[in-house]
Amino acid sequence: MSGANLISLAGDWILGIGMMFYVYTVTGSALASGAMLLVSMVPQLLFGSLAGVFVDRWDRKRTMVVTNLLLALALIPLFAVHDERTIWVVYVVVFVQGVLEQLFQPAEAAMVPHVVPAEDLVAANALNGQNRQVARLIGAAVGGVLAATGGIFLVTVVDAVSYLVAAALVAMIRAEVPPEPIDPAGDRRRLDHEWRAGIALCLARRDLTTLLVFRLMSGFGEGVLAVLIAPLIISVLHASSAEYGSVISVQAVGGIVGGLAIAAVGRRWPPRLLLGYGALMFGVVDLVIALYPLALPALWPIFILISVVGAPSAAQQAGFSTIQQTETPDRYRGRVFGALSTGWALAMLLGIVLASTLGDVVGIIAIISLQGVIHILAGPYLLVRLRPPLPEVSAGVAVPVVEDNRTGG
The CA-based angle 33-245-217, given to 5 degrees, is 70
Q: What's the CA gap between 319 and 278, in Å, rounded?
A: 8
Cβ contact 379:277 at 8 Å:
yes
Per residue in 299-328, pLDDT tens? Answer: 999 999 988 998 899 899 999 999 999 999
Amino acid present at 164: L
pLDDT of 260: 84
Long-range contact set of residues 351-355: C-beta below 8 Å, sequence gap at least 24? 351/219, 351/220, 351/221, 351/222, 351/223, 351/224, 351/225, 351/226, 351/227, 352/223, 352/224, 352/226, 352/227, 353/223, 354/220, 354/223, 354/224, 355/223, 355/224, 355/226, 355/227, 355/228
* CA dihedral (14, 15, 19, 20) positive or negative: negative
SS3 238: coil
Q: Binning pLDDT at 50, 70 and 90, where does residue 393 land?
A: very low
Q: Who's near 193: CB < 8 A, 6+ residues apart? A: 183, 187
Average pLDDT in the 108-137 region? 78
Q: What's the CA gap between 30 and 20, in Å, rounded?
A: 10
Packing angle of the helix pair 364-385, 333-362 (nearest 10 deg) = 150
Cβ contact 341:109 at 8 Å:
no
| Residue 63, number of CB atoms within 10 A of its CB | 24
In 3D space, the residue among 217, 275, 232 whose CA is nearest the CA of residue 368 turns out to be: 232
Lowest mean pLDDT among 98-107, 247-256, 300-309, 333-342: 247-256
Q: What's the CA gap between 65 and 155, in Å, rounded?
A: 21
Cβ contact 179:59 at 8 Å:
yes
Long-range contact set of residues 197-200: C-beta below 8 Å, sequence gap at least 24? 197/332, 197/335, 198/49, 198/52, 198/53, 198/56, 198/332, 198/334, 198/335, 198/336, 198/338, 198/339, 199/49, 199/335, 199/339
Cβ contact 363:232 at 8 Å:
no
Checking if the pLDDT of 383 tops 90, the result is yes
- Which domains, and CATH codes, for the chain? 1-175 (1.20.1250.20), 194-387 (1.20.1250.20)
More confident: 398 or 304: 304
pLDDT of 144: 62
Per residue in 146-183, pLDDT tens? Answer: 766 777 788 788 888 888 988 888 888 876 555 555 55
Q: Which element (helix H / strand E) includes 287?
A: helix 271-291
Q: What's the CA gap between 321 and 340, in Å, rounded?
A: 11
Checking if the pLDDT of 2 tops 70, the result is no
SS3 181: coil
Average pLDDT in the 260-289 region? 91
Q: Who's near 118: CB < 8 A, 6+ residues apart? A: 326
Lowest mean pLDDT among 36-45, 72-81, 154-163, 244-253: 244-253
Cβ contact 269:122 at 8 Å:
yes
In 3D space, the residue among 344, 318, 323 whose CA is nearest the CA of residue 124 turns out to be: 318
More confident: 210 or 21: 210
SS3 92: helix
Q: What's the CA gap between 402 and 409, in Å, rounded?
A: 20
More confident: 391 or 215: 215
SS3 237: coil
The CA-based angle 301-252-121, given to 5 degrees, is 120
Average pLDDT in the 369-388 region? 94
Which regions of 145-284 does DSSP assign to beta strands (E)?
A: none
Checking if the pLDDT of 69 tops 50, the result is yes
Q: What's the CA gap between 261 and 45, in Å, rounded?
A: 33
